[in-house]
């Protein structure tokens, strides 16, 4: 006893869609809404079996997009992303070139401190100079070899000759004042100052010197113990204190 095959009504065909209909002989027909038919081979007919048409529904078509966006939105997003990446790369290159240029300019500057740079620290080296300060005496007596040097000649390093005299002073009566008062620690050093003055200002600019070796009394009162004399218009005075003079020959 055989039963008639059940009949199925295909769903309504929508415009723009295709259907695949399985045929009894094992083939599938793709049918479009326009009526075009394409036969697709199948596994072949099967005997003693009844077939009912089976309708296959196509999967909904999806366009390529990002996050479900449309094509235009996806392309716009990708374009902005590429522009940002290119901008960042360009900025990094510009910073690297600028840092390289600054380093080159700094290393070429003259007179800069010597530096040693590492990834974790920077060391700067400087040289130091130690200056020794010598205290000078302000009390007591400087050297004076009188009367042994009386009426002897002395020549300064600047080639000026002077005659030394002990136990006398050379003063001016209402005439010119001394050139300068300074501190000397020997009679010869006092005469050398007069010779240096002649060397720098012309021969005869300093006529002679008066020298007092007593630092204790001379320095606080006269601000020196060696006086340079400008002319030969003065007068020699005999004194008891240890004062000596020297005049230009």
State the DSSP string of 8-59: -PPPPPPTT-EEEEE-TTS-EEEEETT--EEEE--S---TT-----EEEPPP
Mean pLDDT, the chain, integer? 76
User: Is residue 228 situated within a structural domain?
Assistant: yes
**Of 32, 56, 80, which residue constitutes the final position of a domain?**
56
Confidence bin at 77 (pLDDT 50/70/90): confident
User: Is residue 97 situated within a structural domain?
Assistant: no
Mean pLDDT for the stretch of residues 239-249: 88
Lowest mean pLDDT across 52-61, 136-145, 200-209: 52-61
pLDDT at 181: 94
Assign residue 204 a region: left if phi > 0, alpha if psi is -120 to 50, beta otherwise? left
Mean pLDDT for the stretch of residues 140-159: 94
User: Is residue 182 situated within a structural domain?
Assistant: yes
User: Is residue 104 situated within a structural domain?
Assistant: no
Lowest mean pLDDT across 16-25, 75-84, 154-163: 16-25
pLDDT at 12: 58
pTM value is 0.47
Residue 40 has pLDDT above 60, yes or no: no
Overall number of domains in the chain? 2
- The more confidently predicted of residues 154 and 237 is 154
Residue 21 has pLDDT above 80, yes or no: no
pLDDT tens-digit profile of 183-235?
Answer: 999 999 999 999 999 999 999 999 999 999 999 988 999 899 999 999 887 88
Range of the domain at 173: 153-248
CA distance linking residue 106 with residue 112, whole number of Å: 9
- Vertex 190: Cα angle to 139 and 217 (nearest 5): 25
User: Is residue 71 situated within a structural domain?
Assistant: no
What's phi and psi for 67, nearest 5 deg? Answer: 60, 25
User: Is residue 112 situated within a structural domain?
Assistant: no
User: Is residue 113 situated within a structural domain?
Assistant: no
- The more confidently predicted of residues 201 and 20 is 201
User: Is residue 208 situated within a structural domain?
Assistant: yes
Question: What 3-state DSSP class applies to 84?
Answer: helix
Mean pLDDT for the stretch of residues 161-169: 94
pLDDT at 104: 57
CATH code of 163's domain: 3.50.4.10
């Amino acid at each position: 006893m055989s039963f008639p095959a059940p009949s199925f009504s295909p769903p309504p065909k929508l415009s723009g869609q295709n259907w695949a209909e399985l045929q009894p002989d094992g083939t599938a027909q793709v049918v479009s809404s326009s009526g075009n038919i394409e036969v697709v081979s199948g596994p072949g007919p099967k005997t003693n079996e009844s077939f009912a048409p089976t309708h296959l529904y196509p999967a909904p078509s999806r366009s390529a997009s990002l996050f479900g966006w449309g094509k235009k939105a996806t392309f716009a997003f990708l374009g902005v992303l590429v522009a940002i990446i290119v901008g960042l790369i360009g900025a990094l290159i510009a910073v690297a070139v600028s840092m390289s240029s600054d380093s080159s300019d700094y290393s070429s500057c003259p007179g800069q401190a010597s530096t040693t740079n590492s990834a974790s620290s920077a060391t700067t080296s400087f040289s130091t100079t130690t200056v020794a300060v010598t205290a000078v005496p302000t009390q007591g007596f400087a050297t004076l070899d009188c009367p042994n040097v009386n009426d002897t000649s002395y020549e300064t390093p600047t080639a000026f000759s002077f005659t030394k005299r002990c136990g006398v002073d050379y003063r001016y009566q209402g005439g010119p004042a001394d050139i300068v008062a300074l501190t000397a620690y020997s009679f010869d050093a006092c005469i050398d100052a007069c010779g240096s003055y002649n060397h720098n200002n012309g021969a005869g600019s300093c006529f002679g010197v008066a020298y007092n070796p007593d630092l204790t009394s001379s320095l606080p009162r006269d601000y020196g113990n060696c006086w340079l004399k400008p002319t030969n218009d003065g007068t020699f005075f005999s004194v008891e204190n240890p004062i000596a003079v020297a005049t230009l020959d």
